[in-house]
Structure 1
C-alpha cells in the first residue's frame, strides 16, 4: 500500500491518493485543483474506488465534484457534516468570501461505524471531532498510517474558531483516539508535513498539560 500527496489550492491543503498493487485507489480530501488530481490519477494509471472526506470544510471539498464526475465513485462523509457540502456558511467558504459547494454524499458515516472496507482497503474509522463536529480520521493499519484531516498537525492542532469548532473536544479526540495508535504511526495531515504519533506525543506544545 502506497500513497501520494498533492498539495492543492490557495491554503495548501493536502489531498492523498492511496493505491495498491492492482492500481486501485482511494482519494482522501480532494480539496481543489480537480484537473490536477485527475491528471495525477491517470498518469499513474490508477483506478479510483471511492472518495473519503475527513471533514467538509471548503478547502477539503473543492475538487470533489470534478473528480467524482470523472470516475463516478462513492463519496463518504460523517453524518454531522453531510449538509455542510451545500452550505457555504457551515463549510467556511462564505467566511473567506467564496462560494464552494459539493453535491450530496452517497455514503454517510456515523459514530457507530468502526471499520470501512473498500476493495482491498480496510480503514479503522476514528471519530475525531473538535476541529469540526464531524471530523473523522482514517487509520490504515496495513500501511501504518493515519489520515488525520485537520485534527492533528506536525507541531500543532486544528483551529477551532470556525463553525462548530470546540478545542476541548478536539484535545479529547486527539488524546483518546489518535495518541492511542502505535507511536511509529505516520500522521498524514490536511496541511503541512507528515509526522508520527510518537513525535507529537514528545514535542507537540498543544498536547502537554491536557
Structure 2
C-alpha cells in the first residue's frame, strides 16, 4: 500500500498527516497545512475516513476542510462535534483495508491513541524517530498544562508490550518516517521505542526552555 505524507513541504507548523491509499483510502490526522485536502485529492478520488491520534491543534487545524471536501467519517478517542465513531483501547479497526489495534497512549495528550498493525505503527506524538531533541528515538513533550511525563512513560511501556516483533515501520506525528532495514542491519522499531522510553525515564527537560 502506498502511504503519502500529505503535509510534506508545509511552511507552517503542522503534524505529519498520512494518506493510506488503500481500499478504501483513509487519512491519519489532518494537520494544519492549508490546501491539504487538495493534496489528498491528487492521490485518491475519495476518502472514506480520518483517524485521529489526538486533537492538538497541529493535528486537526485543517480537519474541517478535509471532512467537507470528502464527506469522510471521523474516528477519534475524544469527543468531537463531527465524530462519527469512537476509538477504544484494545479495539481492532480497519484502516485502508488493514487491521490495526488501538492502543491508548496518553501523557502528551489525554485523548492520545496509537494505531498498531502487523508491519507498521502510527504513533502520533507519543514516540517519534527524530524531532530536534533526539535523533533516533524521542518522545512527545509533556511540559504543557494537562500533560504528564509519568503517564507518557507508562504509555511508552504499554506500546512496547503491545508492539508485534513484525513491526518494521514507524509513522510518527513529527520528524521522519522510520523504516528498519529488512536485513536486520539497523535498529528495529522496538529499539527506537525502547530508546525513547529510556530517555523519557530520565525525567529531564526535553528542551532547555522547559
TM-score of Structure 1 vs Structure 2, range by shorter chain: 0.7 to 0.9
Q: Does 1:173 align with 2:152?
A: no
Q: Given that residues 179 and 197 in structure 1 are in contact (C-alpha distance below 8 angstroms), is that contact kept between their aligned partners in structure 2?
A: no
Structure 2 residue aligned with 1:124, among 86, 101, 107? 101
Which moves more between the two structures, 59-68 or 158-167?
A: 158-167
Q: Which residue of 1 aligns with 2:173?
A: 190
Give the TM-score taking structure 1 as reference length.
0.76
> Relative to total residues, which structure has the larger strand share, 1 or 2?
1
Q: Which residue of 2 aligns with 1:153?
A: 128
**Displacement, 1:178?**
3.6
Q: Given that residues 34 and 67 in structure 1 are in contact (C-alpha distance below 8 angstroms), is that contact kept between their aligned partners in structure 2?
A: no
1:97-151 alpha-carbon deviations (Å, 9 max, x no partner): xxxxxx532222234x51113562322111111111110001232xx11110000
Q: Which residue of 1 aligns with 2:192?
A: 200
Partners of 1:170 and 1:203 in 2: how far apart?
14
Runs of 4+ with >6 A deviation = none
- Aligned length, in residue pairs: 183
Q: Given that residues 132 and 163 in structure 1 are in contact (C-alpha distance below 8 angstroms), is that contact kept between their aligned partners in structure 2?
A: no
CA shift in 2, pair 1:60/1:202, >3 Å: closer
Q: What SS class does the counterpart of residue 48 from structure 2 fall into? A: strand
Partners of 1:122 and 1:41 in 2: how far apart?
22
Partners of 1:109 and 1:180 in 2: how far apart?
17
Partners of 1:26 and 1:163 in 2: how far apart?
31
Partners of 1:186 and 1:119 in 2: how far apart?
16
Q: What SS class does the counterpart of residue 187 from structure 1 fall into? A: strand
1:158-181 alpha-carbon deviations (Å, 9 max, x no partner): 011223211111111111224541
* Unaligned 5+ runs, structure 2: 130-136, 179-187, 204-210
Q: How does 1:26-175 map to 2 (within 5 A)?
A: 26-35=26-35, 37-79=36-78, 82=79, 103-111=81-89, 113-117=90-94, 120-141=97-118, 144-154=119-129, 155-175=137-157
The root-mean-square deviation of aligned C-alpha atoms, in Å, is: 2.4
* Unaligned 5+ runs, structure 1: 84-102
Give the TM-score taking structure 2 as reference length.
0.76
Q: Which residue of 2 aligns with 1:16?
A: 18
